[in-house]
Structure 1
Amino acid sequence: MSDWREALFSPRRVAIVGASETPGKAGALFLRNLISPEAGFTGEVIGVHPTATELMGVPAFPRLDAAPAPVDLAVVVTPPATLPSVIEDCGRAKAPVAVVVTGGFAETGAEGAALQRKTIETARAQGVRLVGPNCFGVISTQSGLNASLSIGLPKKGGVSLVTQSGAYGMAAYSRSMDEGMGFSKIAALGNKADVDEADILAYLGADPETRVIALLLESLHDGRRLFETIASITPTKPVVALKTGRHPGAQRAAASHTAALSSDAAIVDAALRQAGAHLVEDGFSLLEVSASLDRQPPLRGKKVGIVTNSGGAGVELTDLLEAQGLAVPVLSAALQEKIASTLPSYGSPVNPVDVTTDWARFPAMYGASVEALMTSDDVDAVVPVLLQRSALMPEVAEAIIAAYARSRDAGSTKPLHVCWVAPKAADGNRARLLAAGIPCHLWPAGTATALAGVAARPAIAPPKPAIVGTAAPKRRDADGWASAPEAFAMLAQAGFPVAPFAIVSSASAAAAMAKEMGFPIVLKAERAGLTHKSDKGAVRVGLRDGDAAAQAFIDFERRLGPGPALMQPQAPPGLELVIGGRRDPSFGPIILVGLGGVLIEIFNDVALRLAPIDAREARDMLEGLKCRRLFQGHRGAPPLGVEKFAHLLADVSQWFQAASSIAELDLNPVIADGDRYTIVDVRMRLA
């Protein structure tokens, strides 16, 4: 078997290197898991043991290359010092892939890291791909493969889980047993010394047995490749992602606004969203949302219809959904009339639909209301709340299942989720709903989180070809910052709307240039290492005559030492925005936009994307800002030309992506006045 990924998930022959019959040893556990009748692995299993010829009824050999037939997958549980020689044996036996469960490598310190490097060097020399080391193993329910530490094989289903954490491999089994969640494949990657999540995702994206991919990230080293891989999958298959370690105790010092606001966690979140992934914030939600997407289509709008037998629960769920950015709209008059015909006179068809406490009529009211909502255009998803008595009645569950089936037969493709608030005595009814493909989430808070998690993001459009970059500025200070005149000139050469500027080197030159430029003017001191000029009193605005310009220049020299100043006409009042860019070591060029000015880091109202982007993606960034209401005009200010600004943002992103000589870029502020945008300040750090 030449394809290592097929060999990993559908091997014909598996070898346990370090196999044993001794209870408590990893070699015994893995051997027992692979030959378990309950798992049903149809391939051949062999053991590798220095002296035994048979273990638990399977043949054993002293080395892999002593086996009479080729091995597709080697599962290694021998001590860490043996790994280089074991991988050499894999190469001689032509085994395309090895899963190294053994720990004691880079996770333990410098000595372990050196052994890990030696093992990977050996694997590459032998043409062997390596999963791990220090990993949980792999599972494929379709082939009955349990080459993992799991105590059993999960139920079959469409979710494939990719994780660094072995604990979530264990959790997958328990969720499968307790919640009926079905899995296709599980790969726990451990130290990711060779095979990483992008390798596995690329395979699962094309795997017909995988309908949803659940991804748990702890660390990553090639963010751009991961982004591109996920973006290639999400137009046809959901990817649900959780990144842990998102809130470090301290943030590295940053010189520019862009660097300070584009933290590692923010970049990972932005990249995953941009790639079309469904983002979640905890492991429970990772599996809950993934299972929901395996059972139901994604939510492709924001409008949710609720049916409840408790007005209080309906109100609580409404609040929680709207806090997640979803909506619970008033239903149309025609739909209200249709639903009202099945309710008592004191019921409410408005939304949430309240069927009241008329217990005897629960099955008919729930069934009719769910079907009416599922087949209407008023809502994009339907959530029946089953609380206590309605949950305890099997007739209600059967009525919802029947209404769901009729709505699907009628062509409805919207998702149906149940909000479950019930005692354990009702678990049988919940199991019926789950078996029918209807997710049941615990309590309103869990339901709102799950609904927000299954909301689809439109597939991203391919970025435009990058604009050709221009020559890098020649002058820079010790920290790599380009001089302002050269940075402005570079932007102007690219066609961006920079404010006119001039450099003055004396008080008399400042007075003369101010008269020529026209009043009012702005004067900014130019000094090496002067980062945030406003903080140092290095910016003077509203200068209305030549004497004022000269005095400002003299003040700069007195306080900041000798040096030139940059002069500009003062821009008219407007909304201050920021456009920034920087090159992340893992994700490459990123672009930032948000509320700018001197309070930028106070409000932290920014959106991030990987560059380059197009105008559609730029509009999506602007829509995500808290300050977006200001774009409509505020206290007499004209509405902003959002479409024009989106094109400017997209153009800057493409230019920055191509200008590889620039490591960091701050355009702050960009003054927005109606359809006019003016870049009045720039900071540019060179690579």
Structure 2
Amino acid sequence: MESHYLTPFFSPRAVAVFGASDTADAIGQIVFHNLLAAGFTGPLYAINPRRDTVQGQSAYASIAQVPSAVDLAVIATPAATVPGIIEACGQQGVKAAVIITAGFAEAGEAGRQLEQQALQAARRHGIRLIGPNCLGIMRPAIGLNATFNKGSANSGHLAIVSQSGALCTAILDWARNNDVGFSSVVSLGASADVDFGDILDYLLHDVQTHNVLLYIEGIHDARRFMSALRAIARVKPVILVKVGRHAAGSKAVMSHTASLAGSDAVFDAAVRRLGVIRVQTIAQLFSAARAMSCGFQPTGNRLAIVTNGGGPGVMAADRAADLGIEMATLSPATLARLDAVLPPNWSHGNPVDLIGDAQADRYRHAVQACLDDPQVDGVLAILTPQAMTDPLAAAGAVIAAGAGQTKPLITCWMGEVQVESSRKAFIQAHRPHFRTPEPAVEVFSYLSAYYQNQKLLMQLPGPLSHHEEPDIKRARGVIEQALDEGRTLLNELESKSVLAAFRIPVTVARLAHSVSEALEIARDIGYPLVMKLCSPDIPHKSDVGGVVLNIYSAADVRSAFLTITENVRVKRPQARLTGIAIEPMIRRPHGRELIVGVSRDVVFGPVISFGAGGIFVEALADCAVALPPLNSFLARELIQRTRVSKVLAAFRHLPAANMEALEMVLLRVSEMACELPGLVEMDINPLILDENGVCAVDARMVIEAQVPERPRYAHMAIYPYPTHLVSHYVMLDGTDITIRPMRPEDAGLVQRFVRGLSEESRYFRYMSMFKELSQTMLVQFTQFDYIREMALMAVHTVPSDKQQSGEQREEEQIGVSRYIISPDGLSCEFALVVADALHGRGVGRQLMLTLMDAARAHGLKRMKGYVLNNNRNMLHLMQSLGFTVSRMPDDNTLRLVEKAL
């Protein structure tokens, strides 16, 4: 019901430009000229105390002299003046400001102080800031061009959000010749206040925005970024490029945006989970944007290539193999169709070689047949201008074949002069086109990755992903004891104790402090044995000769004990030796040595790594990373991204490894990352896996103390499914009800529930006369991350109508309560609906009480909602729960209900 807090940036009623001038090429002169030239229809005020007029418009000495209220201030004056300008704007009720000026945090300590002064003034008056050191913002549909870009932009449906103003100018320049229009262009600059999360939150609800491009140098608030990006990626394609992938680039980022770049591998893992497309270069960003703007709906990675030249077709196939793109196997029906319309000497496979004399009709028939094939997910059409070729006619045939298709159709008309008119035709038809095959295949790979990442986006695992719960209390006890002793490195025995508490199979180890104690332990355990040093100062034991394998006798025990202690004395004389760990020697002839670890990324928090293990971990560098929490789908996906995964199946003399056991270890480690916020680092290396199961042979952990007041899972970028909010309720008639958070897989339950509501109940809840939720609404209602909103379902079990499943009972939804956090971060708006047959039986009350408890636990202070004034039962329930009811000043049909939490 309320407008978004960023609305003054994107739909201002009046704009004031500080520093507007007539001086040629001054930033203030360009900004004011752009606003005039773009045709902004609202009042536009030039603020310049030294001029009476600027560019033919009246100028004002200060914001206080402006004759009407101003929503947006654009500041292009020296940095030293900005804090005072923000203060003056606050006194006049301005709620948004774009600071184009540079010279703040990026300029050193004096600049940082100026930036803080500006922020403090903005917070006192409730002003939101974009910048400083930015290009500005555009909203072409309303004639808003508050930038110093030399040129305008067409109105369209593509939004750009960038930390680089220079990149914005490059994209805008590219767009002119490619018939691309924009809903918004936002240059964030240093992101001192408004950041990616804020802008994405606005664009999510912006009807003008259909696709989003992001240029990222660093992330300030990982959870806010992840939450907002996850929300928008559910309904709008997002393409991003992030720089700072290597050390040199990261250093440049620090000097440019004062942001922390973080690990690139972790960033890549994060955005994969968010369902977005990541590209590596600006050229790829342009190409992917062109493709995504065509409205394709990718469904896989099987590519068909149609070409009039064998060489280009092979080049495209080679690039597809490089990128892991599968060459589609054409169905028998498609092969028959092609045989009927192509010459006998066509390639009879994929790539579909039409032969050099191919005319437009061959292209039309071949492309159409491939697009119609259910075994094809996308088509690349290639043309080389040959003597018999009519490139423009062939282009028209391909465009016609793709009309109405949602499968990706990408074109590559090679050459220059002879195909120039064809490229113009592709631009007018909004078809992605390329000069060479390789970038065309790359674009298809982005579309395929988008489809795969959207499946990852659907995964919302809980912290406990299986039935046997870990002994978290025991694990925390081990950690707390070490911290009490002033230690942050757990020894091997302590590390294995934590692993065992999370039900991870480990080798049993005992600690010996003398040769005689070692001999006694050896007799108890039995031979063969392994002996390893334990030292808080030596994390990698093998580096100092601290591991002895294959110990078969008492003499070997004595020799190994003396050898290890002597190696430590010689190589690390300052190290503390707390003892020698003795454990059984694991002999698994079919075992594969793996590593599973947890590390702490400075931006995204805990990260799980998996790969080839043993003493050559660094040399092999075979490692994939993922953000917790994991479920089985995500664990398998993590495994498959490593080279070592190829030897986990049956391989030469080795039987297939027990993949279920490996997945279970990854799920257990995911639980550790969720439930142990003090876990900074962990290595299980090696983790031995064979056909019989898995065993952790060695482990090390680094820990730190935690702030006890931090909310649960505050250390994580992705919030797990909140199992702690599951509760049970018994109605007066004895019916058992479960109240639990909604999951993405509940979409079917939700749709059936809405269909079953009476017209009156649907109207009271949604204030609209529809019979069922649209697909977009269903996605928005069931796919969320529990940070920005919460939905609690009331369900009970009923006899199953799924005769083939063998299930006797299934869940049925009987109600739902939901809150969405308001932009202030302290309040939320709620909604509630209960099945008609259960009105008046306490389900709605219980849902609201549970929802209010969840909101309080999240730190929210106030809850409000909007109820139709003829919904008397809802108003009565709200009053009985302590909500106040008041009239809406601008709508007599609604009542505002509010309650302090």
Same fold (TM over 0.5): yes
C-alpha distance in structure 2 between counterparts of 1:112 and 1:192, whole Å: 14
Deviates most, 446-455 or 99-108: 446-455
- Output the TM-score relative to the length of structure 2: 0.72
- Structure 2, gaps ≥5 residues long: 252-260, 465-469, 570-576, 705-901
Q: Are residues 563 and 103 of structure 1, via their aligned partners in 2, closer, same or farther at CA, if it must alter by over 3 Å? A: closer
Give yes or no for the alignment of 1:377 onto 2:377: no
Q: Alignment partner of 1:568: what SS?
A: strand
Aligned to 1:22: 23
Aligned to 1:400: 398
Give yes or no for the alignment of 1:591 onto 2:608: yes
| Partner AA of 1:8 in structure 2 | F
Shift of 1:210: 1.4
Aligned to 2:668: 651
| Partner AA of 2:606 in structure 1 | P
Shift of 1:78: 0.7
Give yes or no for the alignment of 1:686 onto 2:703: yes
C-alpha distance in structure 2 between counterparts of 1:289 and 1:115, whole Å: 39
Check conservation: 2:408, 2:444, Cα contact below 8 A: no
Aligned to 2:459: 461
Q: Are residues 447 and 478 of structure 1, via their aligned partners in 2, closer, same or farther at CA, if it must alter by over 3 Å? A: farther
C-alpha distance in structure 2 between counterparts of 1:603 and 1:24, whole Å: 55
Q: Deviations for 1:469-499, whole angstroms, at most 9, x for unmatched residues?
A: 6231523698721122222212212222111
C-alpha distance in structure 2 between counterparts of 1:87 and 1:304, whole Å: 55
Q: Are residues 451 and 658 of structure 1, via their aligned partners in 2, closer, same or farther at CA, if it must alter by over 3 Å? A: same
- Structure 1, gaps ≥5 residues long: 253-261
| Partner AA of 2:15 in structure 1 | V
Shift of 1:123: 1.4
Check conservation: 1:297, 1:413, Cα contact below 8 A: yes
Shift of 1:329: 3.0
C-alpha distance in structure 1 between counterparts of 2:413 and 2:114, whole Å: 51
C-alpha distance in structure 1 between counterparts of 2:236 and 2:8, whole Å: 23
Aligned to 2:619: 602
Aligned to 1:148: 147
Q: Deviations for 1:377-415, whole angstroms, at most 9, x for unmatched residues?
A: 12100111122248863211211121112xx2xxx4211
C-alpha distance in structure 2 between counterparts of 1:224 and 1:593, whole Å: 24
Check conservation: 1:582, 1:590, Cα contact below 8 A: yes
C-alpha distance in structure 1 between counterparts of 2:344 and 2:48, whole Å: 77
Deviates most, 466-475 or 190-199: 466-475
Check conservation: 2:357, 2:389, Cα contact below 8 A: no
C-alpha distance in structure 2 between counterparts of 1:112 and 1:631, whole Å: 56
Shift of 1:7: 1.2
- Output the TM-score relative to the length of structure 1: 0.93
Shift of 1:251: 10
| Partner AA of 2:84 in structure 1 | S
Give the 5 Å matches for 1:47-58: 47-58=46-57
Give yes or no for the alignment of 1:666 onto 2:683: yes
C-alpha distance in structure 2 between counterparts of 1:650 and 1:434, whole Å: 48
| Partner AA of 2:677 in structure 1 | S
Aligned to 2:639: 622
| Partner AA of 2:638 in structure 1 | M
Shift of 1:580: 0.8
C-alpha distance in structure 2 between counterparts of 1:263 and 1:138, whole Å: 27
Aligned to 1:338: 337
C-alpha distance in structure 2 between counterparts of 1:291 and 1:162, whole Å: 16
Aligned to 2:467: none
Q: Are residues 244 and 616 of structure 1, via their aligned partners in 2, closer, same or farther at CA, if it must alter by over 3 Å? A: same
Give yes or no for the alignment of 1:202 onto 2:201: yes
Check conservation: 2:14, 2:44, Cα contact below 8 A: yes
Aligned to 1:5: 6
Aligned to 1:257: none
C-alpha distance in structure 1 between counterparts of 2:284 and 2:113, whole Å: 37
Give yes or no for the alignment of 1:185 onto 2:184: yes
Check conservation: 1:4, 1:97, Cα contact below 8 A: no
| Partner AA of 1:12 in structure 2 | R
Aligned to 1:258: none
Check conservation: 1:296, 1:437, Cα contact below 8 A: no
Aligned to 2:597: 580
Taking only aligned residues, the RMSD between alpha carbons, in angstroms, comes to: 2.1
Check conservation: 1:80, 1:105, Cα contact below 8 A: yes
| Partner AA of 1:33 in structure 2 | N
Q: Deviations for 1:247-286, whole angstroms, at most 9, x for unmatched residues?
A: 114999xxxxxxxxx9712111111122222110011111
Q: Deviations for 1:289-324, whole angstroms, at most 9, x for unmatched residues?
A: 022111132432111111111110000011011211
| Partner AA of 1:602 in structure 2 | A
| Partner AA of 2:609 in structure 1 | L
| Partner AA of 2:678 in structure 1 | S
Q: Are residues 215 and 635 of structure 1, via their aligned partners in 2, closer, same or farther at CA, if it must alter by over 3 Å? A: same
Give yes or no for the alignment of 1:236 onto 2:235: yes
C-alpha distance in structure 2 between counterparts of 1:530 and 1:173, whole Å: 55
| Partner AA of 1:483 in structure 2 | N
Give the number of the structure with larger relative contact order, counting CA–CA contacts within 8 Å between residues 6 or more apart.
1
C-alpha distance in structure 2 between counterparts of 1:251 and 1:596, whole Å: 29
Aligned to 1:557: 565
Q: Alignment partner of 1:474: what SS?
A: helix
Aligned to 1:127: 126
Give yes or no for the alignment of 1:490 onto 2:498: yes
Shift of 1:110: 1.9
Q: Alignment partner of 1:417: what SS?
A: strand
Shift of 1:326: 0.4
Q: Alignment partner of 1:179: what SS?
A: coil
C-alpha distance in structure 2 between counterparts of 1:635 and 1:349, whole Å: 35
Give yes or no for the alignment of 1:499 onto 2:507: yes
Give the 5 Å matches for 1:78-227: 78-227=77-226
C-alpha distance in structure 2 between counterparts of 1:325 and 1:24, whole Å: 49
C-alpha distance in structure 1 between counterparts of 2:174 and 2:488, whole Å: 53
Check conservation: 1:13, 1:73, Cα contact below 8 A: yes
C-alpha distance in structure 2 between counterparts of 1:225 and 1:619, whole Å: 27
Aligned to 2:66: 67
Check conservation: 1:388, 1:422, Cα contact below 8 A: yes
Shift of 1:675: 4.1
Check conservation: 1:305, 1:381, Cα contact below 8 A: yes
Check conservation: 2:380, 2:441, Cα contact below 8 A: no
Q: Deviations for 1:499-530, whole angstroms, at most 9, x for unmatched residues?
A: 11111111122122112212211110112311
Q: Deviations for 1:629-686, whole angstroms, at most 9, x for unmatched residues?
A: 1110333222122233223202211222221222111111111112411111111111
Q: Alignment partner of 1:158: what SS?
A: strand
